[in-house]
C-alpha cells in the first residue's frame, strides 16, 4: 500500500541512521563493517521511500561531533561516501527521479570528496522526484549559528532591520530552506534522543524510536513506523 498517499499527509521523513558500530561489535567485526551494512540499508530505504511517493527524506549520516571517533573509522566513512557517489554515477538512469543534496559543512571535507559531492548534486539537480538530504558533517546548533551569522551580516550591511527578523527569515537561511519541516523523525538502535539533528525543523515533528540497529532496518520497519505515526494526533500546540 502507498502509505504516503493513504491520508497520512506525510511529506518529509528524517532518519537518524544509528547503530552501525554496535551491529559490527555484536558480530565481532571492526566498526567499518557496520558502516558498510548501514550504507546498504540506506540504499534500500531510499528506494522504498521513493516508491511510496515521499517528497523529502533527510538522513543523518555524519555529525559535526563524529570527528571525535577513531581516525580509521572516520576514514572508512569518508571512503564509503566516495564509493556511494561513484556507484550512483555508474547506476544513473534517465528514469531516475531522485535528487541528492548534501546539507552540512562540506568545506571541511577533502577536495576530492567536495568535487564528487558537487558532481552528484549537479547531476541530479533537475530531477523532480524525491529529494534526499544527506546530512554530512552536520550539526543542528552549527546550522543555527550559520543562519544567525548570515542574518547578522545582512543587518550590519544595512540590508536588514534587526527588528524585522522572524522565524521565517531564520528558516530561510537553513540548509533545508524551501522544504517542509519533517513530519516524522525515526531513530533506530534503541536510543531516544535527537543528537543535534534538525533541532529547529523538528519543533513539531513526531518521533518514533525503534529497537533495531540501522544495518538491520528494512522497509517493514519503516512501515511499522508509519503505522505508529498514523495513530498520532498532531495538535501543533492546540487542544
Catalytic residue list: 18, 66
Q: Residue 228: CB partners within 8 Å, gap ≥ 6?
A: 208
Q: CA 151 to CA 158: how far, in whole Å?
A: 11
Average pLDDT along the chain:
94
pLDDT in tens, 131-141: 999 999 999 99
For the stretch 169-212, pLDDT in tens is 999 999 999 999 999 999 999 999 999 999 999 999 999 999 99
Q: What angle do CA 111, 112, 115 make, to 5 degrees?
A: 85
Task: Tell me the whole-structure pTM to 2 decimals.
Answer: 0.93
How does pLDDT run across 5-54, given as a tens digit for each residue? 456 789 999 999 999 999 999 999 999 999 999 999 999 999 999 999 99
CB 130 within 8 A of CB 49: yes
- Indicate the CATH number of 3-139+180-230 among 1.10.10.60, 3.40.1180.10, 3.20.20.210, 3.30.360.10: 3.40.1180.10
Question: How many whole angstroms separate alpha carbon 165 and alpha carbon 2?
Answer: 40
Interior angle at CA 190, CA 184 and CA 194, nearest 5 = 50
Q: How many helices (H) and strands (E) does the chain have?
A: 7, 6
Amino acid at each position: 500500500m502507498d502509505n504516503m498517499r493513504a491520508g497520512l499527509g506525510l511529506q518529509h521523513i528524517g532518519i537518524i541512521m544509528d547503530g552501525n558500530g554496535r551491529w559490527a561489535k555484536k558480530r565481532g567485526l571492526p566498526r567499518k563493517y557496520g558502516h558498510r551494512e548501514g550504507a546498504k540499508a540506506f540504499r534500500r530505504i531510499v528506494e522504498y521511500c521513493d516508491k511510496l511517493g515521499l517528497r523529502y527524506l533527510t538522513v543523518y549520516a555524519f555529525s559535526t561531533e563524529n570527528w571525535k571517533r577513531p581516525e580509521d573509522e572516520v576514514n572508512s566513512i569518508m571512503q564509503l561516501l566516495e564509493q556511494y557517489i561513484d556507484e550512483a554515477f555508474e547506476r544513473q538512469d534517465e528514469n531516475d527521479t531522485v535528487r541528492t543534496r548534501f546539507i552540512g559543512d562540506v568545506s571541511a571535507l577533502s577536495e576530492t570528496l567536495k568535487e564528487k559531492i558537487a558532481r552528484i548534486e549537479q547531476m541530479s539537480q533537475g530531477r523532480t522526484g524525491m529529494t534526499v538530504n544527506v546530512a554530512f558533517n552536520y550539526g543542528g546548533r552549527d546550522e543555527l549559528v550559520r543562519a544567525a551569522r548570515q542574518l547578522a551580516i545582512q543587518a550590519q550591511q544595512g540590508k536588514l532591520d534587526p527588528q524585522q527578523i522572524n522565524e521565517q527569515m531564520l528558516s530561510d537561511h537553513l540548509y533545508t530552506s524551501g522544504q517542509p519541516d519533517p513530519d516524522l523523525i525515526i531513530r533506530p538502535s534503541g536510543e531516544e534522543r535527537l543528537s543535534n539533528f534538525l533541532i529547529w525543523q523538528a519543533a513539531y515533528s513526531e518521533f518514533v524510536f525503534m529497537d533495531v540497529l540501522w544495518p538491520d532496518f528494512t522497509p517493514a520497519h519503516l512501515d511499522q513506523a508509519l503505522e505508529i505515526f498514523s495513530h498520532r494526533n498532531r495538535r501543533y500546540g492546540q487542544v
